[in-house]
Structure 1
Amino acid sequence: MWRYAAGSVATLLLVAAGWLIFNGQARPDPLVPARTAAGAPAQVTEPAPLPEDAGLPEASARTREQKRFDRYDKDRNASITREEYLASRRKAFAKLDVNGDGRLSFDEWAARTTQRFAEADRDRSGTLTAAEFATTAPKRRAARPACRCPQPVTADD
């Protein structure tokens, strides 16, 4: 019987310890100096500053939304007019409207796709084989690395 009691107490202690570990409010102080063998605090050394030309990007104070707003607000009056908002669409439309009549025909709208088909149709048969069709697959961008930080300087260097 005493085994069950001891097991129950041990289980409760483990649960309490786990709760304290995961829900505790203690925060470690990383700047507390370590003690030397004599008991005196050791000197805390700051990491060496990086040179100015290390190539680190400067942090911008503007947010992504502020930058997007500024791209549309061409006259910088802190408001976006309908013309400013539609300017990028007008440029895209003008690129597609080859003959400049203000209307898009199907051929103008599908010009890029028609060109891709013509480039893929190597034998000029008017049809794409499986091998020719495979060349029309969209190009995938390579994943960019998350950080382009310089390698840390080690004591061996």
Structure 2
Amino acid sequence: MWRYFVGAGAALLLGVAAMFLFRGSAAQQPLVPRAPTAVAEPVEEEGLPQEAPSASARTREQKRFDRYDKDRNDAISRDEYLAPRKKAFAKLDTNGDGKLSFDEWAIKTTTKFAGADKDKSGALSRAEFLTTAPKPRKARPKCACPKPAAAAAGAAVDEPED
């Protein structure tokens, strides 16, 4: 029975000690950081423009229209509209006969199969099939914004010492 009283007393002492420690450490930290000691030089406003630069008001569709309109006559002809498709077709039509056979259409896949079939048996084993797995895509950054000048300088800002 006496063990319960000793345990309860020890827990009470630990609680009181923790309360004093937390209250003591909170009182030592200032609520507001000190002002920086170095003062930046004023920027001359003579060379600055009156207005901030802004992006053009062209919409996404206007930009897309301009990409198709190669001769810049504000009209997209049938040839201009089909030019990207013709380039893609020409890449696939390897023999240049103007017709697309199945083998020409599936050249990337058949080349991949032939490269994976190391023993040239015409069939892929499990080990050979593993080599055809698509490579994981790298995640693209969501923002390609330049770093702010202050963050890039790093050590240029004086930190207050404790």
Q: What TM-score, normalized to structure 2? A: 0.54
Aligned length: 103
Amino acid at match of 1:156: D
Q: How many Å apart are 1:102 and its aligned residue?
A: 0.9
Residue-by-residue CA offset, 1:17-49 (whole Å, 9 max, x unaligned): xxxxxxxxxxxxxxxxxxxxxxxxxxxx9xx8x
Alignment match, 1:156 = 158
Equivalent-residue separation in structure 1 for 2:64 and 2:112 (angstroms): 32
Equivalent-residue separation in structure 2 for 1:81 and 1:144 (angstroms): 35
Residue-by-residue CA offset, 1:94-135 (whole Å, 9 max, x unaligned): 111122111111111111111010111122221112222222
Q: Are 2:75 and 1:73 aligned?
A: no
Equivalent-residue separation in structure 1 for 2:121 and 2:135 (angstroms): 25
Identical aligned residues as a percent: 64
Task: Give the direction of change, closer, same or farther, for the CA distance of 1:106–1:71 in structure 2 (3 Å limit).
Answer: same
Task: Give the direction of change, closer, same or farther, for the CA distance of 1:124–1:60 in structure 2 (3 Å limit).
Answer: farther
More helix, by proportion: 2
Alignment match, 1:119 = 115
Match of 2:125 among 110, 129, 145: 129
Task: Give the direction of change, closer, same or farther, for the CA distance of 1:132–1:75 in structure 2 (3 Å limit).
Answer: same
Match of 1:83 among 74, 79, 82: 79
Alignment match, 1:32 = none
Task: Give the direction of change, closer, same or farther, for the CA distance of 1:99–1:79 in structure 2 (3 Å limit).
Answer: same
Task: Give the direction of change, closer, same or farther, for the CA distance of 1:98–1:150 in structure 2 (3 Å limit).
Answer: same
CA RMSD of aligned residues (A): 2.8
Bigger-Rg structure (1/2)? 2
Q: How many Å apart are 1:145 and its aligned residue?
A: 2.0
SS at match of 2:87: helix
Q: How does 1:41-52 map to 2 (within 5 A)?
A: none
Alignment match, 2:141 = 145
Q: How many Å apart are 1:85 and its aligned residue?
A: 0.8
Equivalent-residue separation in structure 2 for 1:146 and 1:118 (angstroms): 37
Amino acid at match of 2:62: Q
Residue-by-residue CA offset, 1:60-101 (whole Å, 9 max, x unaligned): 424433222222111111121111111111111111112211
Equivalent-residue separation in structure 2 for 1:134 and 1:65 (angstroms): 43
Equivalent-residue separation in structure 2 for 1:72 and 1:94 (angstroms): 18
Equivalent-residue separation in structure 1 for 2:85 and 2:135 (angstroms): 24
Which of the pair has the greater relative contact order for Cα pairs under 8 Å at 6+ separation? Answer: 2
